Each structure stands twice: as structure tokens, then as C-alpha cells.
Amino acid sequence: MVSCTFAQPGGGHEGRQHHGMQHGQHEMDFKKLNLTDAQQQQMKTLNEDFHRQLQELNSKENITVKEQRDQRDALVKAHKAKIDGIFTAEQKQQLAQMKAENAKKREEMAVERLAKMKAELNLTDAQVATIKSNQQTTHSKIEAILKDENLDRESKEQQLTALRQEMKTNLDKVLTPEQKAKMDAERKVRQEKMKSFKGHRMHNEDVK
């Protein structure tokens, strides 16, 4: 099965995480479409052409950073349109249905995370309601930024970075000093566990 890759703009942890999830989900969704051999070959050819064009663009030395960024965004947009053109009407309908299902799963995961936060920090119902409202507003803003074709990659990165800071500020306003201190302490524990896990994995790879 041929997988399709898209070079997508991102910025900040929230933006990168969001895009990373979307990118992986795209590949899984395409594998469920039962593409014909001809469609797989078309997709393979388009991907190869796309990556060749990106390499040629990256090798250009006589253009500005903005020109390179704008040309890259144009290549990504054109590539996505060509990939969409491969699918039948039925396959496009399947993709739309899977997109809706994936969105529902993300919402369920957000509910679970908020429930866990409530238990860990002993949040009140009023705090939970405020945090949930802020999260929904943030998600809408992220979607709007990512879908805005009038914004170049740098502008999207800047807006997503500012949005991430806005999220942190809004959360700090909701939490009490004690809750914030506990959340920061738990975050440090998770970070240390992640560092330990990565170090252990790298050690195992070196041994191999």
C-alpha cells in the first residue's frame, strides 16, 4: 500500500501535535480506502514528483526565505489537490466519514484528559466548565489558522505560538496557586520519565 505524505505547516507544541496526529491519521485513512493498483501507482508517482520538487526548491540559492516559503506552500497546496483528484466520489465520502469519526475520537480524548485533570488537581465543576470552554475556543482558533489559505507558513507558526501562550495564561487564571504548583510538579515528573524512557531506548539501540 502506498502512503501519501503532506508537508504541513506547524508551530508550537499544540500546532505540531495537531499536525502530527493529522499526518499519521491521513496515512491510516488512505490504507482503508482499498485503492486500486492504478491509484496506488498514481499516488506513488505524485509523491515522488512532489519530493523531487521540494528538493529542487531547497537547493535554490538565489531566492529569499519568504519566496522559498511561499513556493513551498504552493507546492503543498497543488500536491494535495492532485492527490484528492485520484479518489473516486465514494472514496471521498469515506474519507469525510473517517474525518468525522476521528474528530469525535479527539473530543472523547479531550474529555478523558479533562476528567483526569479534575481528579488530579481536585478541580471544581466551575473550573472544569471554564477550562472546557477555553479548550473549545482554542480548538476553533487552531482550525481557523490551519485552514486560512491567506496566511503563509511563518504567519501560521507565529499565530499558533501566540495561541499556545494564550492557552497557558488562561489556564493559570483558572487554577489556584496550589493547583498550579501541583500541576507544574506533575509535569516535571512526566518530563523526567520521558527523558528516562528516551535515554533507555537510545541505550538499547546502541547495544543492538
Note the pTM of the prediction, 2 decimals: 0.61
Question: What is residue 112's predicted lDDT score, i.e. its pLDDT?
Answer: 94
Question: What is residue 57's predicted lDDT score, i.e. its pLDDT?
Answer: 92
Mean pLDDT by 10 residues, the chain (208 residues): 40 44 54 88 94 93 87 91 94 91 90 93 96 92 87 86 93 95 90 78 59
Q: Measure the CA–CA gap between 49 and 75, rounded to whole angstroms.
A: 10
Question: What is residue 22's predicted lDDT score, i.e. its pLDDT?
Answer: 45
Domain boundaries, the chain: 12-175
Question: What is residue 148's predicted lDDT score, i.e. its pLDDT?
Answer: 86
Provide DSSP, 108-155. HHHHHHHHHHHHHHT--HHHHHHHHHHHHHHHHHHHHHHH-TTS-HHH
Q: Can you read off the three cell numbers belonging to residue 190?
A: 512526566
Q: Measure the CA–CA gap between 146 and 153, rounded to whole angstroms.
A: 9
What three-state secondary structure class fits 167?
Answer: helix
**Between the CA of residue 64 and those of 20, 156, 158, 161, what are the distances in Å?**
28, 19, 19, 23
